[in-house]
Structure 1
Amino acid sequence: MHRGLHPADRVADYTARGWWGDETMDGLFRARVAAGPDREALLDPADKEALTGQSPRRLTWREVDAETDGLADLLLAHGIGAGDVVGLQLPNTVELVVAYLACWRIGAIVSPLPVQYREREITELGTLAGFAAFLTAARVGERRPAAEIAALRGALPALRTVLAFGDGPDGLPEGVLPVSYAPGAAARVAAHMAAHPADPNDCVTICWTSGTESTPKGVPRTHLDWLAMSWATVDAPRLTGDDVLLNPFPMVNMAGINGMFLPWLRVGGVLVQHHPFDLPTFLAQIEAERVTYTVAPPALLTMLLAREELLAATDLSSLRLIGSGSAPLAPPMVRGWQERHGIGIINFFGSNEGIALLTDPHDVPDPEERALYFPHFGAPGVTWSSRISGQVAVRLVDPDTGALVTEPGVPGELRIKGPMVFSGYLGGDALPSPFDEDGYLKTGDVFVVAGEDGRFLRYVDRAKDLVIRGGMNIAPAELEGLLAGHPAVAEVAVVGYPDPVLGEKVCAVVVPRPGAAPALADLVEFLRACRIASFKLPERLELRAELPRNPVGKILKRELRAALSRPSSPDDTE
């Protein structure tokens, strides 16, 4: 049933501190509806018709509420209720938002999957989570997800119901039910809610780790920890009910859910959905909807600065801030947006398990510092404006000795504790614990203490991504951040490849800018000018048309390492 995920003593402690309360997702949504029922709330992607065959819609808060009741009633009619897990595979549309809200209204648990996932991933994850229902679309682009799920029913033993929005060219396949709403839904749903009141410690989502490992892990989350986490992404961009949020990130993990969806629930305003990512449509939405805040990956923001003609053709005057993350930010990019366009970049660092380190222009006005550093919550004498700063306990730990790291510049694994951290992995009894003996989440991310008075943390790299060359640790993220500033580099990933003498050497895998063909010697000379240690310099260069990524956009470095395991040719090295 996934009830009461956090232990009672933790709930009591955090509640007494005022960090947790009796809020629920549905309660928060109902408050937004009551505050402005006829205000515009939710917009479809502009190109929805090409994506799903359905016309784009604009809904008020009252209309979203009515559709939430309708879908909740439909789920109840098919035996889905409190504690049941609903697999959800939809693009960023109004229906995706309604699906989340409807499940939460009746106490069902949402397990969202990227639209790119196919039979293998759906079967694996659906079996692990025990999908009782699956909610998808008849068509997404050229694919027919509803038909794909219908064919999988025998492989998902717990699956009882498959529902689909829209209608395929030949109708829905046998066994797939259309999403349609019956009169009187609100009263029936209210009766169910009265009989099955929500507990804030109930599970509301099971998201999945990014898939850079061989088997994704399920990350259950409750009302309590999601809503505690949401304050971080409200406070950093200073969101209010007057903001218009443009969401291009899939609402399947921390970035889309906590970066856009939950802040919208917290403050109201308008949520504009975007899918699939299309740059002209994205820019047109900013202008047409007077967007005030959005999020974008670092590579896109770097590219746009280099293509000033695209920005010059778009009215960006409404845009106050852009959130970015998932890869280290290049200081020239953050500075360029601020100085050329007056738009501040917020530096995000997060994970499904519960990290929320955000560096915003209010607390860190200098763009170079904002690109490089994150808040060191708890540093003596240092205060931060975000309300989570007093709730998060942070420590750096030497991963080999377990000793606390306090000296600036010494790498240590980031460990974190607080009300936004999850309770543990799905089926966690059969997995190594992600927590240390003091209850801190072991993130696997390496940081160093930096800045005046140790006020900052600087990201070094994922511990497992470090390249160890002759006993010397090399952080790929550092080199990637530097190489991103080379005029011939559009994107770059740095990985290690086997060497019989040194153990590993460094390879730069580069997507060149159009018309450019950088050579290894060019990149090495560029890095030498940055005055870095010579042992960090890459000894191999691979040019690619694109970098391999998982469905949520993270670079799959394990694929790059596998491809580079062959011995290098003479042309690869200096």
Structure 2
Amino acid sequence: MIIVEAARIAEFKARGWWGDTTLIDKMNAHADARPQEEALVDPPNLAEIAGITPSRLTWQEVRDGVEKRAALLYRHGFRKDDVIVIQLANSVDLTLALLACFRLGVIASPAPAQYRQNELAGIVRRTGASGLIMAERIGRHDHAALMAAVRACSPGLRHCFLVGPGGGDGINLAQALAAVVPADVASMQAAVAQDPPTADDVATICWTSGTEADPKGVPRNHNEWIVMGQGCMACAKLRPGDRTLNPFPMVNMAGISTGLCTWLEFGGTLVQHHPFDLPVFLSQIREERINYTVAPPALLTALLSNDQLLKGIDFGLLRRMGSGSAPLSDWMVRTFHERHGVEVINIFGSNEGASFAACLEDVPDPRDRAIHFPRLGDHGFTWTYALADRTWTRLVDPDTGHEISSPGVPGELRVKGPGIFSGYWQAPEVTARSFDEQGWFCTGDLFAIAGNHNQYYRFVGRLKDIVIRGGMNISAEEIERYLIEHPAVRDVAVIGYPDHILGEKLLACIVPAGDGPTMEELNRFLVEEKKIALFKQIERLELLDELPRNPVGKLLKRELRAVFSENGDE
């Protein structure tokens, strides 16, 4: 399915930014060049996470696994442009499931492991998905039972595959794969050869939350993903044979670009990690001889404060680390470089494709790199960042629409380029609001021009009403919509408040009806009645006599943030 306008495709290909190579072509090139080299490694605690014995695959084994899975899906009737929703922990199985979809031209829609019936059934409904691939369990949660609940309210689902040792109302993936014979693979290959997926076809639909209450589907094609992988690989300076550790869930921009797409670019080894477990993460860095990984700023700062945690890590191998989603400490950036010779790269990105990276060559001063990004576009500056020649940016006053060129003035960041998506999945009204009349994507993020020569951008805040908890976007409006239905709630506003580990947590400001609810009652209502993901629960409750509003009744969240957000956890 090609949804990008033909003129846009032609322009990017004429400029050499897009091509005809798919993500599967990338995989095949590495399997041809280094078939027996290690390519993909499971988390060592996968048995504890999902009841599955961890595995390690060479590039040839990756290709063979993808071909068998694609043949299995084809035998069950899946064809190009069908949609399959996938909910698995970071693993060999998740990686091969995504690649098998790409092989067939099936659109993969990966969902966070935390999603529950509400979110999953909504994704199935909005995409018209005809298949599910899910774990039997992730951690302590029974995902086999979750699959059954989603199937019961999703009549369009044809086939559901369960990944695990056995059990549940679905097709056991391991058993089904064991029954795939060479003739099945040959049949699939012959059929796909007649109508192969192209680099312009949609590969994934990921999900993001913003001002709308419902998550928005973000379709991305192979070329859009390849651009992201090229940018990540260049920033991390990865080479064939390097080893990367991916702790970000491979369900959105962070995990798929820095994990899957970067791996397919440089052709080394991808070591998976999920859910985040600090002792396991550190042992993987040591034992897997990792050259590059990513981690939240607070974690990197905490590691420097305890030398014992870093004991045994070979910093001759671990040359660079990426970080983002919250402000970086200049002390952390400087100390990692001075004490261990490690370059910390400051990364900003969104599912829609807005992507920036502050690396040592472009932002040498650690104090600047902790808070600044290159001001990309036609502003008279030259950057080494790999996507600098194909990314345009400007700041716009969100009230007047006038472009901002003076330093220190907050404005909405607007972006153009070959990595930017072309619109939300089957949501023309939302798409129309998200691009201005000149075709710039309106990110909803506020930046200001900074630096001695106005060469940088500094992140200021968000225009959109979202809370980013541990890298996951949560729509405040969605949680408000549910809470207002609780009989003990007369009025509600949800905001984020600072947390030194997760970046932000959810605070519910409630005007009670009667005596007022407890936080436990509200969360039980959200999880059991509304069946939301656990990470969307509120973590702080404030009972108020009334919410601040302007004369026409508009809620003034900035006043609530001014009162509560400065204090963090109390």
Q: Deviations over 1:223-249 (max 9, x none)?
A: 121112222111111111121000111
In the other structure, the counterpart of 2:446 is 446
For the structure 1 residues 565 and 197, does the alpha-carbon distance in structure 2 shift closer, same or farther, using more than 3 Å as the test?
farther
In the other structure, the counterpart of 1:198 is 197
Task: Please list, as runs of the form range in 1=range in 2, the aligned pairs for 1:94-493 lying within 5 A after superposition.
Answer: 94-168=92-166, 171-173=167-169, 178-181=175-178, 182-184=180-182, 185-210=184-209, 214-312=213-311, 314-431=313-430, 432-464=432-464
In the other structure, the counterpart of 1:10 is 8
C-alpha displacement of 1:315: 4.2
For the structure 1 residues 308 and 193, does the alpha-carbon distance in structure 2 shift closer, same or farther, using more than 3 Å as the test?
same
Structure 1 moving runs of 4+ over 6 Å: 553-556, 571-574
Q: Is the 8 Å Cα contact of residues 127 and 157 (structure 1) preserved in structure 2?
A: no
Separation (CA, whole Å) in 1 of partners of 2:497 and 2:42: 39
Q: Deviations over 1:165-204 (max 9, x none)?
A: 2224xx3326666542412143222212211211222111
In the other structure, the counterpart of 1:471 is none
Q: Deviations over 1:123-148 (max 9, x none)?
A: 11111111110011223222231332
Give me the TM-score of the superposition, normalised by structure 2: 0.81
Say which is worse superposed, 178-187 or 226-235, in terms of deviation: 178-187
Q: Deviations over 1:38-93 (max 9, x none)?
A: 11000000111111222111100000110101110110011111001000000011
Separation (CA, whole Å) in 2 of partners of 1:323 and 1:39: 25
Separation (CA, whole Å) in 1 of partners of 2:238 and 2:357: 14
Q: Is the 8 Å Cα contact of residues 357 and 385 (structure 2) preserved in structure 1?
A: no
Q: Deviations over 1:448-490 (max 9, x none)?
A: 1111332111111112469xxxxxxxxx99xxxxxxxxxxxxx
Q: Which amino acid aligns with 1:116?
A: Q
In the other structure, the counterpart of 1:523 is none
Separation (CA, whole Å) in 2 of partners of 1:370 and 1:32: 34
Task: Please list, as runs of the form range in 1=range in 2, the aligned pairs for 1:509-520 lying within 5 A after superposition.
Answer: 509=498
For the structure 1 residues 305 and 554, does the alpha-carbon distance in structure 2 shift closer, same or farther, using more than 3 Å as the test?
farther
Q: Which amino acid aligns with 1:422?
A: F
Q: Is the 8 Å Cα contact of residues 347 and 355 (structure 2) preserved in structure 1?
A: yes
Separation (CA, whole Å) in 2 of partners of 1:382 and 1:396: 16
Indicate which of 43, 54, 65 corresponds to 2:63: 65
Q: Is the 8 Å Cα contact of residues 71 and 179 (structure 1) preserved in structure 2?
A: no
Say which is worse superposed, 13-22 or 434-443, in terms of deviation: 13-22
Separation (CA, whole Å) in 2 of partners of 1:292 and 1:324: 15
Separation (CA, whole Å) in 1 of partners of 2:354 and 2:110: 20
Q: Deviations over 1:318-341 (max 9, x none)?
A: 211110111121212212222222
Q: How many residues align?
A: 497
For the structure 1 residues 188 and 507, does the alpha-carbon distance in structure 2 shift closer, same or farther, using more than 3 Å as the test?
closer
In the other structure, the counterpart of 2:82 is 84
Separation (CA, whole Å) in 1 of partners of 2:540 and 2:403: 31
For the structure 1 residues 407 and 554, does the alpha-carbon distance in structure 2 shift closer, same or farther, using more than 3 Å as the test?
farther
Separation (CA, whole Å) in 2 of partners of 1:211 and 1:412: 18
Q: Is the 8 Å Cα contact of residues 286 and 316 (structure 1) preserved in structure 2?
A: no
Q: Which amino acid aligns with 1:79?
A: G
For the structure 1 residues 211 and 248, does the alpha-carbon distance in structure 2 shift closer, same or farther, using more than 3 Å as the test?
farther
Separation (CA, whole Å) in 1 of partners of 2:116 and 2:378: 46
Q: Is the 8 Å Cα contact of residues 210 and 554 (structure 1) preserved in structure 2?
A: no
Separation (CA, whole Å) in 2 of partners of 1:348 and 1:447: 14
C-alpha displacement of 1:162: 0.2
Q: Is the 8 Å Cα contact of residues 349 and 357 (structure 1) preserved in structure 2?
A: yes
Separation (CA, whole Å) in 1 of partners of 2:329 and 2:543: 26
Separation (CA, whole Å) in 2 of partners of 1:198 and 1:510: 44
Separation (CA, whole Å) in 1 of partners of 2:211 and 2:500: 20
C-alpha displacement of 1:386: 2.4
Separation (CA, whole Å) in 2 of partners of 1:248 and 1:380: 35
Q: Is the 8 Å Cα contact of residues 344 and 359 (structure 2) preserved in structure 1?
A: yes
Counterpart secondary structure, 1:453: coil
C-alpha displacement of 1:402: 0.6
Separation (CA, whole Å) in 1 of partners of 2:158 and 2:544: 45
How much is the aligned-residue C-alpha RMSD, in angstroms?
3.0
For the structure 1 residues 238 and 15, does the alpha-carbon distance in structure 2 shift closer, same or farther, using more than 3 Å as the test?
same
In the other structure, the counterpart of 1:74 is 72
What percent of counterpart residues are identical?
44
Say which is worse superposed, 101-110 or 361-370, in terms of deviation: 361-370
For the structure 1 residues 17 and 96, does the alpha-carbon distance in structure 2 shift closer, same or farther, using more than 3 Å as the test?
same
For the structure 1 residues 133 and 563, does the alpha-carbon distance in structure 2 shift closer, same or farther, using more than 3 Å as the test?
farther
Counterpart secondary structure, 1:374: strand
Counterpart secondary structure, 1:445: strand
Separation (CA, whole Å) in 2 of partners of 1:451 and 1:248: 32
Counterpart secondary structure, 2:457: strand
Q: Which amino acid aligns with 2:395?
A: L
Q: Deviations over 1:233-272 (max 9, x none)?
A: 1111111112100011100000000112101001100000
In the other structure, the counterpart of 1:32 is 30
Say which is worse superposed, 223-232 or 77-86, in terms of deviation: 223-232
For the structure 1 residues 367 and 141, does the alpha-carbon distance in structure 2 shift closer, same or farther, using more than 3 Å as the test?
same
Counterpart secondary structure, 1:49: helix
Q: Deviations over 1:512-544 (max 9, x none)?
A: 99xxxxxxxxxxxxxxxxxxxxxxxxxxxxxx9
For the structure 1 residues 512 and 22, does the alpha-carbon distance in structure 2 shift closer, same or farther, using more than 3 Å as the test?
closer
Q: Which amino acid aligns with 2:448?
A: V
Q: Which amino acid aligns with 1:268?
A: G
For the structure 1 residues 300 and 212, does the alpha-carbon distance in structure 2 shift closer, same or farther, using more than 3 Å as the test?
farther
Counterpart secondary structure, 1:191: helix
Counterpart secondary structure, 1:6: coil
For the structure 1 residues 152 and 418, does the alpha-carbon distance in structure 2 shift closer, same or farther, using more than 3 Å as the test?
same
Q: Which amino acid aligns with 1:87?
A: V
Q: Which amino acid aligns with 1:117?
A: Y
Q: Is the 8 Å Cα contact of residues 333 and 366 (structure 2) preserved in structure 1?
A: yes
C-alpha displacement of 1:312: 2.8
Separation (CA, whole Å) in 1 of partners of 2:534 and 2:373: 20
Q: Which amino acid aligns with 1:75?
A: L
In the other structure, the counterpart of 1:52 is 50
C-alpha displacement of 1:314: 4.2
Counterpart secondary structure, 1:452: coil
